[in-house]
Amino acid sequence: MSIVRKSFACIALSAPLFALAQNPGLLAEVKTADAAYWQAYNDCDYATLDRLTAENVEFYHDLGGLTSGRAALTDSVRKNICGRPDMAIRRTAQDKDVQTYLLNRGPDVYAAVVTGRHEFTQGPKGVPLPPNGEAQFTMLWLRNADKTWTLSRVLSYGHKAIQRANDSKAVSLNEADLERFAGSYAATIQKVLVFRREGGNLSVEIGGRPVTLYPKGATTFFMKERNIEVEFRGAADGKATGLVVRQDGKQVDEGKRM
């Protein structure tokens, strides 16, 4: 028998040593604990978050850095996820992408890993919007002596916006028309929006990044990268007095000229 064939024979004989059967009951327990944690996250249920989280938990985020400890992690949810009464952030796992694995020490299960992709929806409370962000996640759950499960490690990475392009066609507006919309507006979500004329378009800074808005009609402008439109109000006989921002057809912000 050749060396290669002997090697494959050894692998085949040793495979059963590494192929431990998954326990449906324990898998269900892990999935229940994981679902309860994220439901508490969405509901701002701090007591349940604390109950399901290990005291020495570590949360690794590719944008927000490392958060260590139960108190710090729950406090970050309180401030960053639940800190604004007018805004809502909701996390949903994509079931088709989620995998759960049990970790064994000999015949005993001591932990489990849940990994997959999740999506986030951020916007004004009460406004139904599609998810606008996504990332990958990995959760490490430890099995306690009393057979309960505690979240020990979390990784959330690969964050990016979910792009829904706007395929509207731009129209031409003259300089005088564009200048009617330029200026500063006090808004609800973005607080202050400053619009400037830039060639045949408008430019506005969002989160420190300039965004180009293209004219869709006499008073409406759109982003090409995302399905967001800005409609200016009160511009018939002069400068615009206010605006409405819509995402995917839903109003998400409004403002008045300052």
Burial class (CB in 10 A: 0-12, 13-18, 19+), 170: middle
Give CA–CA dist 98/116, Å, rounded: 4
As beta bridge partners, residue 212 has 203
CATH architecture of 175-257: Beta Barrel (2.40)
3-state secondary structure of 208: coil
* Per-residue exposure over 103-128, b if at least 16 CB sit within 10 Å of its own CB, e if not: eeeeeebebbebebebbbbebbeeee
Give CA–CA dist 87/151, Å, rounded: 27
pLDDT at 11: 39
Say whether pLDDT at 9 is over 60. Answer: no
In the chain, ranges of CATH 2.40.128.50 domains = 175-257
Within 13 Å and on the Cβ side, how many CA atoms surround 130?
11
Say whether pLDDT at 1 is over 90. Answer: no
Pick the CATH number of 20-161 from 1.10.10.10, 3.20.20.210, 3.90.1300.10, 3.10.450.50: 3.10.450.50
In the chain, ranges of CATH 3.10.450.50 domains = 20-161
pLDDT at 8: 41
Most confident of 9-13, 112-116, 239-243: 112-116
Say whether pLDDT at 95 is over 50. Answer: yes
As beta bridge partners, residue 163 has none
Say whether pLDDT at 15 is over 60. Answer: no
Say whether pLDDT at 91 is over 60. Answer: yes
pTM value? 0.64
